[in-house]
Homo-oligomer: A and B are copies of this chain.
Amino acid sequence: MNLLLKEIRHNPLLWLLIFVPVLFAAQKLRPEAHTLLFVLSVLAIVPLAALLSHATESVAAKTGDAVGGLLNATLGNLTELVIALTALSAGQYMLVKASIAGAIVTNTLFMLGGSFLLGGLKHHVQEYNRVSARMQAGLLLLATVALIIPSAVANVESAAKPVFIQQLSVGLAVLLIVAYGLGMMFSLGTHREIFASAEQGEEGEAPWPIGLALVTLAGVTVLVALVSEIFVESVQQAAQAFGMTPAFIGFIVVALVGGAAEMASAFSGARKDRLDLSVGIALGSASQIALFVAPVLVLLSYVIGPAPMDLQFWPGAVVMILIATLSAAFITVGGRSAWFVGVLLLMVYLIFAMTLYLLPPGLQ
C-alpha cells in the first residue's frame, strides 16, 4: 500500500485519481449534468488506465516469460476492453465499433507518429527493429482484410444478408483470435530471438510485489467498469453539448482517453532513443485491439449484449483503418525514422480527425 502511495506521489498522471471519487459524488448529486459527468469520467479513466497498465506489467514480470507475455498480450488493452464491454451491454454498438476502429487508427497514426516526431526532434535519425514492426503490420493487415471483406462482398441488399453477415463475423472472429495466438507462439516462442530488442521491459519502473499487483488489477478493473458506465451514459448528450459528432467522440476522444497511459510510455521511450519500445507499444496495441479485443467483443455479444454484434463497419471507418495500417506498413519497411516521418503519420491522423469533426451526423 505504501508502494502504491509512493508511486502516486511520484507520477503526476496519477494525481488525476482524485477525479474518481469526485465523479462518483457528482453522479449522486447531479445525475442529469451529463457534460460535467462526461468530463469527469474522462479525467478519471486516464489515471486508472495507467495503474492498470503498471499492475499488468508487474504481474507479467513475476510470472515468467511465456505466461507474462501472454498476460501482457491479453490484458494490455484491458481499459479499452472494459469500456467497450460497458457500451456493449448497453447496446451501443455504434460506439463500440467506433472505439475499436478509433483505437486501431489512433495507435498506428497518432501514437506511432507522435513517437517518431518527439524522438526525431531530439535525435537526428533513429533506428528500430523492423522485423518486429513488419510482423505487427502483417497482423494488422490481416485484421483489416477481415474488416473489409463483409462490406466488399455483400454490396447488394437482400433478405439473406443479415444472417450471412452474422455467420461471417463469428467465423472471422475465430480466425483472428487463432491468428493472434499463432503470432504470439511465433514472437514469444519459436522465433523469439528475432524479436529480442523489442521485448525489453521499460527500465526505471520497478515491478510491484505480486500481491499488490493482483489486488490493484482486480480493484482498478472494477473502478474502470464503474467509471465507464457513467462515461457511456453521458457521452451522447455531452457530444451534443460540445458540438461534436458521435463519430468524432467514439473515434478520437474515446481512443485517446483509453490509450493515454500507453501513449505516455511510447512517447517517453522515443525521447530516450528507445524507439523499439515505442513501435512495439503502438503497433502491438493496435494489433491486439484488432485481433483480440474486437473478436472477443463479437463473441461476447452473444452472451452479454441485447443482440449479436457483427464485424461490419461503417465504410468510412473501414477506409480509415485500411489507410492507417497501410501507412504504418509502408513507413516501417525501412526501420529508420526522422521527425518528418512522424509528421506524415500525424498529418494523416489530422485529416481523419478533421473529417470526423466536420462530418454531419446524417452522412455517417
Contacts and interface: CB of A to CB of B under 8 A. Distances in A.
A172 interface: yes
Contacts of A167: 358
A28 B192 CA distance: 60
A323 interface: yes
Contacts of A164: 358-360, 363
A172 B351 contact: yes
Interface string A136-178: 0011011001101110111110101101100110011001001
A84 to B, nearest CB: 23
Contacts of A358: 164, 167-168, 171
B343 A156 contact: no
A271 interface: no
B153 A347 contact: no
A338 interface: yes
Nearest to A183: B340
A267 to B, nearest CB: 19
A316 interface: yes
Contact of A351 (B146, B156, B161, B354): B146
Nearest to A176: B347
A340 B182 contact: yes
A240 interface: no
- How many copies of this kind of chain does the complex include? 3
A189 to B, nearest CB: 10
Given A149-B351, A175-B354, A354-B172, A360 B139 contact: no
Contacts of A178: 347
A125 B334 CA distance: 20
A190 interface: yes
Given A158-B363, A360-B164, A148 B323 contact: yes
Contacts of A122: none
A326 to B, nearest CB: 8
Interface in A314-364: 315-316, 319, 323, 327, 329-331, 333-334, 338-341, 343-344, 347-348, 350-352, 354-355, 358-360, 362-364
A161 B363 contact: yes
A307 B360 CA distance: 22
A15 interface: no
A288 B25 CA distance: 56
B153 A340 contact: no
B153 A319 contact: yes
Contacts of A146: 351
Nearest to A153: B316
A186 interface: yes
Interface in A214-256: none
A175 B363 contact: no
In the complex, which of the residues A315, A319, A344, A350 has the most CB atoms of chain B within 10 Å of its own CB atom? A344
5 contacts: A145-B351, A179-B343, A182-B340, A186-B340, A190-B338
